[in-house]
Amino acid sequence: MNVCNIIPTTAAEHIAKKLEDGRGLKIIFPDKNKEGSRYFPDGEVYTRLSKINEINGRTVVLHSGAPNPDKGLIELEILLEIISRDSVRPIEVFFTYFPYARQDNVWKIGETNTARNLIEKLVNYYNVEKIYIIDAHFSHREWVKNYPIVNVSAVDLLKNSALAKYPEIIFLAPDIGSQKRTGLKGTEKKRKDSHNVEIKEITENVSDKTVGVVDDMIGTGNTLVDFYDECRSAGVKKVVAAATHGVIPSGAEKVFQKYDGFYLTNTVDNPRANIDISGLVARAIRDYK
């Protein structure tokens, strides 16, 4: 059996701990410093792979882009520098949550496509051969086709979890982007700023029914709160939230308190996460060889 090395960053350790050693996966945790920490007192990350000489063959760096996207990217790059310098091949990266994913296009003068820039750097500088992303916010963008990106969907996992309790549920998406990513019908959303959105009227007949809203991420939670209110205005009996990434804990808590049912994966280490994606991660790594 060919063993695949899994090296988690700090933000993805909660998932790596659920991945079993054996069955083709070997989990290698980076070392801690003399104080038993992964960070120095000034906040800089300490990154060391003392077992680098034992690492050979296919290697996947597992990373979540939250809760600290900037620190996380620095740690990710240090790990990639260490293993690429040691000529470990092939190198792959698995993002359970991709940071800066919403900055995936140039909308105004003076902006840049930050998501694409990061992908470019991973492929061209660190020689990353495959990049897995769970429910990438930019999965529907045309530029994605130019890179070795594998979009791993958690939508079925979320829907099946909700269906087990609400077999009569009707699934909808809260905006156009989510409709493209999930293939579900839904509403249109107009974003006023980073905190405020406007949900347009639900066109589906949802009166006296159970509706499940499926979204890729919960930030401030305002989109799903507005969606809930719109559902209630439309006569919905119960409203259930199902989301992949709980990026901001306070936003996830706001949605949890508002909705009749709540399903959130642990792509980000969020206290309200109740759906484990470690099995999804393991299957994706084994399937794409």
Is the confidence at residue 227, as pLDDT, over 70? yes
Residue-level pLDDT at 194? 47
How far, in Å, CA of 126 to CA of 121, rounded? 7
Is the confidence at residue 181, as pLDDT, over 80? no
101-134: pLDDT as tens digits: 999 999 999 999 999 999 999 999 999 999 999 9
By C-alpha distance, which of 127, 64, 75 is closest to 101? 64
How far, in Å, CA of 58 to CA of 6, rounded? 9
Residue-level pLDDT at 89? 92
By C-alpha distance, which of 184, 202, 243 is closest to 219? 243
Residue for token pair 């700023």: 193
Contacts of 116 (CB under 8 A, 6+ apart): 104, 138, 143
203-212: pLDDT as tens digits: 567 889 999 9
Look at phi and psi of residue 199 and say left if phi exceeds 0, alpha if psi is from -120 to 50, else beta: beta
232-276: pLDDT as tens digits: 988 999 999 999 999 999 999 999 999 999 999 999 999 999 999
**What's the pTM value of the predicted model, to 2 decimals?**
0.92
Is the confidence at residue 14, as pLDDT, over 70? yes
Question: How large is the average pLDDT for residues 217-226?
Answer: 93
Looking at residue 23, its amino acid is: R
Residue-level pLDDT at 20? 73
Residue-level pLDDT at 201? 61
Residue-level pLDDT at 147? 98
**Considering the chain, what percentage of its residues have pLDDT values greater than 70?**
90
8 A C-beta contact, residue 218 and residue 226: no
Structure tokens at 62: 């597992």
Fold of the CATH domain 4-153+277-287: Rossmann fold (3.40.50)
**Considering the chain, what percentage of its residues have pLDDT values greater than 90?**
79
Alpha carbon distances (Å) from 286 to 6, 7, 268, 277? 12, 15, 22, 14
Domain 155-264 belongs in CATH node 3.40.50.2020:
yes
131-174: pLDDT as tens digits: 999 999 999 899 999 999 999 999 999 999 999 999 999 999 88
Residue-level pLDDT at 222? 92
The domain ranges of the chain are 4-153+277-287, 155-264
Residue-level pLDDT at 259? 98
Confidence category of residue 199, pLDDT binned at 50, 70, 90: low
Structure tokens at 266: 């642990």
65-90: pLDDT as tens digits: 999 999 999 999 999 999 998 888 99
8 A C-beta contact, residue 260 and residue 239: yes
Residue-level pLDDT at 203? 59
8 A C-beta contact, residue 236 and residue 194: no
